């Protein structure tokens, strides 16, 4: 089974990398940046895992549920 996990900081959590990137975009002369959020994307190719097990992997290993949200997408 192939899956993609997207992990992003929760909306209420400050994202310093996103703030710095937004400022860098403005320094390039591009105005109107409302916000930038930086996360990570992880592709998994795993045999014999159920969706419940994949969610457990996301919750317990790949993300920090206190400050991050994840989205699991089954690719095949």
For tokens 């899956």, name the residue.
Answer: 3
Q: What is the mean pLDDT of residues 59-76?
A: 96
Consecutive H or E run containing 3:
strand 2-9
Q: Residue 76: is its pLDDT beyond 90?
A: no
Domain boundaries, the chain: 2-74
pLDDT tens digits for 10-28?
Answer: 999 999 999 999 999 999 9
Q: Residue 70: is its pLDDT beyond 90?
A: yes
CATH number of 2-74: 1.10.287.310, 3.30.1330.60, 3.40.50.2000, 3.30.1280.10? Answer: 3.30.1280.10
């Amino acid at each position: 089974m192939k899956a993609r996990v997207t992990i992003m900081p929760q909306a209420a959590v400050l994202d310093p990398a996103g703030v710095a990137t937004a400022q860098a975009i403005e320094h390039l002369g591009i105005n109107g940046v409302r916000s930038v959020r930086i996360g990570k994307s992880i592709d998994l190719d795993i045999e014999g895992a159920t969706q419940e097990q994949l969610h457990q992997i996301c919750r317990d290993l790949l993300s920090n549920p206190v400050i991050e949200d994840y989205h699991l997408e089954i690719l095949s």
